[in-house]
């Protein structure tokens, strides 16, 4: 039976596409590379890491940087492939399990609805597979536009997503909720899809990726972005999303345990735009959770609440103010590979 494993299930590796000077990170490359190095160091404490570099010269630079930071490079696999950007959550493979056998699904990527250049990113998974990066794991290309950040799985056939994203006409025009649900049943073994109508993080240009809004922490627990400040622009939408979540029930007919995550104070870029700082954009790895932090008093509140969601896992804060300058955060720049892929 096919299923999309939950993120907390055993992993063999996490993928990163390292920033380079042909990406939008060019103006702040040194600073953002330092964030990536901190992410890398914390991942390889718990599992292996797959880093995609632009070319051999770039790979040498990344290796030197990690060595200087004290990284154990024996736990890092390097590969080279050109990329437009570094958001591997959305450009990389989504791994399903057929029984115990992993299979990579390569969905179409169109730059979040043709918002950004993507001619290299849409080929990234195929190029890595053809280069043998994923060993013997098969890869199936699917003629459907889907980003990894747009779906959440509880590992038991329940998917969580948003209508705003999956039903966006800029991705798969002509397909309605029923059609997409049927396809998700085939690809992911989805028995049930929870479609959230509400939820908004200002500055998120993905049309409402679920990984910025609400996340499964176990089959009965959902951590979500909450807003109690009536003066905040997020208040109406996030209150409506909280009401939707409160009305949900598990397969056993019981309400989900809901854990609210605060919003940090507004972070504004040089153009005056509010940036999408969300604590829901955490990454679950073996024995740990990497959580985004924004140099805000709410960081400690978010870390404390996430710790209650993941007993037995270390919750590690990662400074992500630099990442949100390009409208994404920690989960967006990573993609886990379940055990068996490498």
What domain count does the chain have? 1
Distance CA 227, CA 324 (A): 19
**Cβ atoms of residues 197 and 254 within 8 Å:** no
- CA-to-CA separations, 80 to 13, 55, 83, 86, 165, in angstroms, rounded: 17, 5, 10, 13, 31
pLDDT value at position 239? Answer: 98
Distance CA 198, CA 243 (A): 9
For the chain, strand residue ranges (E) read 2-3, 11-17, 48-53, 76-80, 94-98, 101-108, 139-145, 152-153, 158-162, 192-196, 214-218, 221-225, 257-261, 283-285, 288-293, 314-319, 335-338
| The model's pTM | 0.98
pLDDT value at position 85? Answer: 97
**Cβ atoms of residues 331 and 322 within 8 Å:** no
| pLDDT in single tens digits along all 342 residues of the chain | 899 999 999 999 999 999 999 999 999 999 999 999 999 999 999 999 999 999 999 999 999 999 999 999 999 999 999 999 999 999 999 999 999 999 999 999 999 999 999 999 999 999 999 999 999 999 999 999 999 999 999 999 999 999 999 999 999 999 999 999 999 999 999 999 999 999 999 999 999 999 999 999 999 999 999 999 999 999 999 999 999 999 999 999 999 999 999 999 999 999 999 999 999 999 999 999 999 999 999 999 999 999 999 999 999 999 999 999 999 999 999 999 999 999
pLDDT value at position 215? Answer: 98
Q: What is the pLDDT of residues 52-79, one digit of tens each?
A: 999 999 999 999 999 999 999 999 999 9
Domain that holds residue 148: 2-338
Where residue 115 sits, what CATH number does that domain have? 3.75.10.10
pLDDT value at position 171? Answer: 96
């Amino acid at each position: 039976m096919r299923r999309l494993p939950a993120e907390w299930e055993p992993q063999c590796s996490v993928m990163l596409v390292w920033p380079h000077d042909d990406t939008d990170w060019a103006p702040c490359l040194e600073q953002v590379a330092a964030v990536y190095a901190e992410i890398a160091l914390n991942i390889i404490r718990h599992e292996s890491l797959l880093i995609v570099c632009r070319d051999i010269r770039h790979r040498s630079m990344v290796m030197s940087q990690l060595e200087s930071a004290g990284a154990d490079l024996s736990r890092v696999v390097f590969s080279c492939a050109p990329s437009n950007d570094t958001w591997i959550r959305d450009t990389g493979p989504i791994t399903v399990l057929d029984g115990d056998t992993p299979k990579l699904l390569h969905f179409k990527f169109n730059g979040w609805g043709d918002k950004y250049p993507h001619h290299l990113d849409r080929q990234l998974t195929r190029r890595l597979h053809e280069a043998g990066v994923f060993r013997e794991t098969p890869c199936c290309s699917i003629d459907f536009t889907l980003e990894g950040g747009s779906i959440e799985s509880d590992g038991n056939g329940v998917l969580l997503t948003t209508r705003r994203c999956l039903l966006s006409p800029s991705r798969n025009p002509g397909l309605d909720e029923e059609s997409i649900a049927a396809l998700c049943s085939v690809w992911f073994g989805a028995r049930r899809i929870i479609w959230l109508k509400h939820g908004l993080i200002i500055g998120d240009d993905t049309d409402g990726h679920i990984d910025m809004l609400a996340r499964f922490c176990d089959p009965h627990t959902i951590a979500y972005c909450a807003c109690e400040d009536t003066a905040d622009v997020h208040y109406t939408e996030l209150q409506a999303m909280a009401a939707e979540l409160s009305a949900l029930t598990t397969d056993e007919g019981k309400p989900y345990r809901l854990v609210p995550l605060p919003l940090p104070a507004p972070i504004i870029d040089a153009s005056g735009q509010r940036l999408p700082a969300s604590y829901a954009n955490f990454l679950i790895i073996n024995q740990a959770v990497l959580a985004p932090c924004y140099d805000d008093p709410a960081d400690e509140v978010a870390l404390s609440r996430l710790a209650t969601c993941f007993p037995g896992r270390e919750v590690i804060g990662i400074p992500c103010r630099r990442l949100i300058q390009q409208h994404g955060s920690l989960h967006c720049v990573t993609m886990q590979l379940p055990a068996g892929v490498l």
